[in-house]
Structure 1
Amino acid sequence: MRLVLLADTHVPRRARDLPGVVWEAVDDADLVVHAGDWVSDEFCDLLSRRARRLVGCHGNNDGPTLQRRLPSVARADLDGVRLGVVHETGSATGRERRCDAAHPNLDVLVFGHSHIPWDSITPAGMRLLNPGSPTDRRRQPFATFMTAEIRQGALVDVVLHKVHP
């Protein structure tokens, strides 16, 4: 199962649309994961139509319609991999222990908010992933997103992709 991991797209406020390379990845994916800050209902609708399957949550910049439509924490069982998606996890210091406490019984937690890519393992063995933002790099050298695969009940081949302007 091929996954695309996105967060903090901020369409259309920070960008009019996703970069072409991201849309190509979406078209090739079996599942798109979005960790919030969509910003517009229209973009959520577009990604929902284009993705084969979509799992996402709302973020702090998402209005009332998206907050009603999307959960604050989304969950999915993907061929035995227990996935969670949340927008905010707090500061980097202590993140792993906080996420273990707040999100038990997950194998992978995808999060956003900071626009800073992240890949770590918690003390309980949960993989924490932040794909950054494909449209708003903030203080990062590049805009980014992630791809990954699920094979034989495991998350493998996690790749951070730089989006060149």
Structure 2
Amino acid sequence: MKIVVISDTHLPKRKKGLPPRLIEELKNTDLILHAGDWQTLDVYRELQSYGRVEGVYGNVDDQEIKAMFPYKKIVEILGYKIGITHGHGKGKTTEQRAIETFKGEEVDCIIFGHSHIPVIRYERDILIFNPGSPTDKRRQKLFSFGVISLSDKIMAEHIIFNEGQQ
């Protein structure tokens, strides 16, 4: 099973639409996970045209998005429990806040956003994953999003690209 993971799209504030490199992956995915800062529901609607979408709200999302999505969510897929949160809040690092959000809960993976910094690492047996941003790279050299593959194990990778890259 292939899952496209995105966060911090900030559309249409940062870009006019989803980049071609992301759309290429969306055409061949089983599930789309969004870790918040959609900016508008138009992003959700566009993503729905490619497949099932699950997500959470971020700190810049309005009441309409907050009414549709929770602060945190656990999605169970093929026996794996994937926790999703944006990671915003006070104190500690974004990554620490995301991990603490699921403290005491059994998850195989924690997906978060907010920092726009791609992260892929393990803490104990839990995959810690931030896809970065496909539309607002901030201080990063390139744009990014993630792909998670589920089979007999959970694997993740970043897709890193230049703005004009197909």
TM-score by length of structure 2 reads 0.89
1:159 alignment counterpart: 157
Which amino acid in structure 2 is aligned with residue 25 of structure 1? E
CA distance in 2, matches of 1:84, 1:151: 18
1:129 alignment counterpart: 129
1:112 alignment counterpart: 113
1:28 and 2:28 are equivalent in the alignment: yes
Which amino acid in structure 2 is aligned with residue 160 of structure 1? H
CA distance in 2, matches of 1:118, 1:93: 9
CA distance in 2, matches of 1:113, 1:159: 18
CA distance in 2, matches of 1:66, 1:93: 23
| 13 and 106 in structure 1: CA distance in 2 versus 1, 3 angstrom threshold | same
What is the percentage of aligned positions where both structures have the same residue? Answer: 29
1:83 alignment counterpart: 82
| 96 and 134 in structure 1: CA distance in 2 versus 1, 3 angstrom threshold | closer
| 60 and 79 in structure 1: CA distance in 2 versus 1, 3 angstrom threshold | same
CA distance in 1, matches of 2:17, 2:108: 31
* Deviations 1:58-107, CA, capped at 9 Å, x for gaps: 10010000000111112211101101110016506756863562x62010
2:41 alignment counterpart: 41
Where structure 1 has 5 or more consecutive residues not aligned to the other structure, the ranges are none
* Deviations 1:12-49, CA, capped at 9 Å, x for gaps: 0011101111011011110111000000011211112x
Count of matched residue positions in the alignment of Structure 1 and Structure 2: 160
1:98 alignment counterpart: 100
CA distance in 2, matches of 1:70, 1:61: 13
TM-score by length of structure 1 reads 0.89
Report the CA distance between 1:51 and its aligned residue.
Answer: 2.8
1:73 and 2:75 are equivalent in the alignment: no
| 12 and 34 in structure 1: CA distance in 2 versus 1, 3 angstrom threshold | same
Where structure 2 has 5 or more consecutive residues not aligned to the other structure, the ranges are none
The answer to whether the 8 A contact 1:2-1:31 is kept is yes
